[in-house]
Chain A
Amino acid sequence: MWLGKNRRRLDEFFDVEGEKSEELRIVGDAGRVKWIGRDMTRGRIAVEGHAGMHLGSRMAGGAIEVSGDVSDWLGAEMSGGAIHVRGNAGGQVGAAYRGSLAGMRDGTIVIDGRAGLEVGQRMKRGTIVVSGGVRDFAGLEMRGGTIVLGAAELRTGAWMLRGTIVVLQSIPILPTFAYASTYSPTFLGLYAQRLKRLGVEIPVDEHAGAYRRYTGDAAIPGKGELLVWEPRG
Chain B
Amino acid sequence: MDTKEQASPLIEHKGVRIEDTFAEAFGMRGARVVITARSPEWARTAAQSLTGFATSVIGCKLEAGIEADWPARETPDGRPGVSVLVFAFDADGLAKRLIERIGQTVLTCPTTACFDGLPDAEDRVNVGGMLRHFGDRFQSSKFLDGKRYWRIPVMEGEFLIEESFGVRKAIGGGNMLILARDADAALEAAEAAVRAMRGVRGIVLPFPGGVVRSGSKVGARHYKKMIASTNDAYCPTLKGRLGPESALSEEVNSVLEIVVDGLDRAAIEAALRAGVDAACRAGVVAISAGNYGGKLGKHHFHLRELVPAKPEA
Contacts and interface: CB of A to CB of B under 8 A. Distances in A.
Interface of A: 106, 125, 127, 144, 146, 162, 164, 181, 183-187, 189-194, 204, 206, 223
A204 B142 CA distance: 17
Contacts of A204: 78
Contacts of A185: 151, 157-158
Contacts of B36: 189
Nearest to A180: B153
B77 A193 contact: yes
Contacts of B145: 194
B160 A187 contact: yes
A127 B151 CA distance: 17
Interface string B129-146: 000000000001011110
Given A192-B77, A193-B78, 16 more contacts: A125-B143, A127-B144, A183-B158, A184-B157, A186-B77, A186-B158, A186-B159, A186-B160, A187-B77, A187-B149, A187-B160, A189-B36, A189-B113, A191-B144, A193-B77, A223-B140
11 contacts: A183-B158, A186-B113, A186-B157, A186-B159, A187-B77, A187-B149, A189-B36, A190-B149, A191-B144, A192-B77, A223-B140
Contact of B151 (A125, A181, A187, A194): A187
The 7 residue pairs across chains A and B that have the minimum distance between CB atoms? A189-B77, A186-B160, A183-B157, A186-B113, A193-B78, A189-B78, A187-B160
Contacts of B160: 186-187, 190
A162 B144 contact: no
Contacts, number: 50
Contacts of B144: 127, 190-191, 194
B297 interface: no
A206 B143 contact: no
Contacts of B101: none
Main secondary structure of the interface of A (DSSP, over half): mixed
B168 interface: no
Nearest to A189: B77
B97 interface: no
Interface string B96-129: 0000000000000000010000000000000000
Contacts of A191: 144
Nearest to A184: B157
A204 B72 CA distance: 13
A86 B32 CA distance: 39
Main secondary structure of the interface of B (DSSP, over half): strand
Contacts of B157: 181, 183-186
Nearest to A181: B157
Interface in B180-198: none
B79 interface: yes
Interface in B153-176: 157-160
A183 B38 CA distance: 13
A24 to B, nearest CB: 25
A192 B149 contact: no
Contacts of B52: none
B76 A193 contact: yes
A106 B158 CA distance: 24
B164 to A, nearest CB: 15
Contacts of B38: 206
A43 B76 CA distance: 27
A142 to B, nearest CB: 13
B143 A106 contact: yes
Nearest to A185: B158
Contacts of B143: 106, 125, 144
A228 B151 CA distance: 18
A187 B38 CA distance: 13
A193 B77 CA distance: 6
A16 to B, nearest CB: 35
A192 B36 CA distance: 15
B76 A190 contact: yes
Contacts of B77: 186-187, 189-190, 192-193
Interface string B76-88: 1111000000000
Contacts of B158: 183, 185-187
A144 B141 CA distance: 9
Nearest to B157: A183
A160 B234 CA distance: 69
